[in-house]
């Protein structure tokens, strides 16, 4: 059997959890079957398993395109390019809405089953109108059409499955929950501290860590607002870049500078952090914070936990299925505004609650140690990529038969 993966992100072009998911899943599946990856970019690995080919949009075509429409229209262009090259795969597996149109064309044009892994859902990301304007209508239409045409949908959490069934006209029997995973041999506690020295982090003081894009979805502004409620002894390390819009980038800049004016131990790493230093930063953090306001799964939490770091996370989406409240960290309740879902009903209380969870862990060394051990154990016991690949292969076999 051969599976054709269509994905926006693939190494070295990875900026989020979906890309990490595809990277590790294809690697494990390649030990069990043939895998071909078609992605956005200039990658080219014609031999071996998986085979990888990158595709780029026709830049000349989009020279005069409105900036907010360029991304969705380019995605459609690349999805057509995916299918211009014939395939001998028995099924097509899509990741993120950017490639869903490619999946639709492969299903119709090559007569193969369409599988979609849902890393997020457009109806639950209304703040994207701020990012791509009316292009959000395009992304939403593409996603809905593909979801309702798919032969199988993989939800990365039980919460995601509930959202799929609520928002789309799909048969529940077509939806299977297969968790995201983590390579526990790669993500594990390490002693090295070169990354701490590089970024000016004091190894003698505990620090709270954040990794993520500067976007409404990741809730980074809520965490910045929580810093003033943290104990003065706690350093805060924000690995946050790639703002979705100029507006949120400017807001982030202003809020970080304001808090730095009153507190010396806030470190903003506004650049891409490689894998080795990333693991070092996880390993030495006293706590990781995930203040997301929408998170279908939250693979970033697994990375932290695999490195023995407790997590304080908002009680949304898949995060509730990763963190064991009071055992591997704390879940913080978040009530969102109906008219502006990326905002908390009481943002100041949410900020206080995030800070409270961080303070409890950092200021209690015995609790921190027990949570550290429990976090590592949970990732090893529950979230192995090898078992996830086997579940995915079994789903493929049921469709091809």
> How confident is the prediction along the chain (401 residues), in pLDDT tens digits per residue?
999 999 999 999 988 788 989 999 999 999 999 999 999 999 999 998 999 999 998 888 998 999 899 999 999 999 999 999 999 999 999 999 999 999 999 999 999 999 999 998 998 888 788 888 999 999 999 999 999 999 999 999 898 999 999 999 999 999 999 998 889 999 999 999 999 999 999 999 999 999 998 988 899 999 999 999 999 999 999 999 888 888 889 999 999 999 999 998 999 999 989 999 999 999 999 999 999 988 888 889 999 999 999 999 999 988 999 999 999 999 999 876 566 556 666 889 999 999 999 999 999 999 999 999 999 999 998 888 888 999 999 999 999 97
**Among 203, 358, 383, 209, CA closest to 306:** 383
Beta bridge mates, 177:
155
**337 cis-preceded (ω within 30 degrees of 0):** no
Is 151 among the domain residues? yes
CB 104 within 8 A of CB 16: no
The answer to whether 269 and 239 are in contact (CB under 8 A) is yes
**pLDDT, position 48:** 87
Same domain, 392 and 371: no
Same domain? 274 vs 366: yes
CB 112 within 8 A of CB 106: yes
Tokens of 278: 């990333």
- The answer on 18 and 71 residing in a single domain is yes
Rounded-to-integer distance, Cα 312 and Cα 91, Å: 39
Per-residue tokens: 8 = 């926006």
β-pairing verdict for 235-241 and 207-213: parallel
Other C-beta atoms within 10 Å of 345: how many?
12
Identify whether 187 is part of a domain: no
Q: Are 148 and 124 in contact (CB under 8 A)?
A: no
The answer to whether residue 116 sits within a structural domain is yes
Same domain, 391 and 374: no
pLDDT score at 342: 60
Q: Which helix (H) or strand (E) holds 141?
A: helix 135-149
Check whether residue 269 and residue 337 sit in a common domain: yes
Is there a single domain that holds both residue 19 and residue 66? yes
The answer on 156 and 11 residing in a single domain is yes
Kindly state whether residue 186 falls inside one of the protein's structural domains. no
Residue 180: what pLDDT? 87
Task: State the pLDDT at residue 341.
Answer: 58
Q: Are residues 174 and 229 in the same domain?
A: no
Whether residue 213 is contained in a domain is answered as yes
Count: domains in the chain: 2
Q: Residue 189: inside a domain, yes or no?
A: no
Q: Is-contact 115 94, C-beta < 8 A?
A: yes
Same domain, 161 and 283: no
Confirm if 256 and 248 have CB atoms less than 8 A apart: no
pLDDT at 159: 87
Residue 104: inside a domain: yes
pTM, full prediction: 0.75
171/225 same-domain check: no
If you count them, how many residues does the chain have?
A: 401
203 plus 309 within the same structural domain: yes
- Residue 155 sits in a domain whose CATH number is 3.40.50.2000
Give me the pLDDT at residue 64, please: 92
Q: Which secondary-structure segment (H or E) carries 387?
A: helix 385-400
Residue 244: predicted pLDDT: 82
Domain presence at residue 17: yes
On whether both 165 and 203 belong to a single domain, the answer is no
Phi, psi of 243 (to 5 degrees): -60, 140
* Boundaries of domain holding 295: 194-382
Contact status, residue 149 vs residue 114, Cβ threshold 8 Å: yes
Q: Which of 136, 334, 131 is nearest to 243 (CA)?
A: 131
């Amino acid at each position: 059997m051969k599976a054709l993966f269509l994905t926006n992100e693939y190494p070295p072009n990875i900026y989020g959890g979906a890309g990490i998911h595809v990277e590790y899943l294809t690697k494990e599946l390649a030990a069990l079957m043939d895998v071909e990856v078609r992605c956005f970019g200039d990658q080219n690995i014609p031999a071996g398993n998986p085979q990888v080919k990158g595709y780029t949009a026709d830049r000349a075509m989009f020279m005069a395109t409105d900036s907010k429409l360029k991304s969705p229209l380019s995605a459609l262009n690349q999805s057509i390019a995916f299918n211009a090259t014939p395939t001998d795969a028995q099924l097509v597996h899509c990741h993120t809405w950017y490639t869903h149109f490619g999946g639709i064309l492969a299903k119709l044009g090559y007569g193969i089953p369409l599988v979609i892994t849902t890393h997020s859902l457009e109806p639950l990301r209304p703040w994207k109108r701020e990012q791509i304007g009316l292009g959000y209508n395009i992304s939403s239409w593409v996603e809905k059409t593909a979801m309702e045409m798919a032969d199988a949908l993989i939800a990365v959490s039980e919460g995601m499955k509930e959202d799929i069934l609520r928002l789309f006209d799909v048969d529940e029997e077509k939806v299977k929950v297969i968790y995201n995973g983590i390579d526990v041999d790669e993500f594990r506690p390490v002693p090295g501290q070169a990354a701490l020295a590089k970024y000016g982090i004091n190894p003698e003081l505990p620090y709270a860590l954040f990794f993520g894009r500067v976007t409404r979805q990741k809730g980074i502004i809520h965490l910045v607002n929580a810093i003033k409620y943290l104990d003065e002894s706690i350093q805060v390390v924000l690995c946050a870049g790639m703002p979705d819009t100029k507006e949120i980038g400017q807001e982030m800049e202003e809020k970080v500078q304001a808090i730095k004016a009153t507190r010396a131990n806030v470190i903003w790493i506004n650049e891409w952090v490689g894998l080795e230093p990333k693991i070092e930063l996880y390993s030495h953090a006293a706590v990781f914070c995930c203040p997301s306001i929408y998170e279908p799964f939250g693979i970033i939490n697994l990375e932290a936990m695999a490195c023995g770091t407790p997590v304080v996370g908002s009680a949304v989406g898949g995060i509730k299925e990763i963190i064991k409240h009071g055992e591997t960290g704390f879940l913080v309740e978040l009530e969102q505004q109906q008219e502006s879902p990326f905002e908390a009903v009481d943002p100041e209380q949410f900020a206080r609650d995030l800070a409270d969870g961080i303070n409890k862990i950092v200021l209690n060394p015995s609790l921190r140690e027990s949570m550290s051990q429990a976090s590592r154990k949970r990732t090893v016991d529950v979230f192995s990529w090898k078992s996830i690949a086997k579940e995915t292969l079994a789903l493929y076999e049921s469709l091809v038969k």
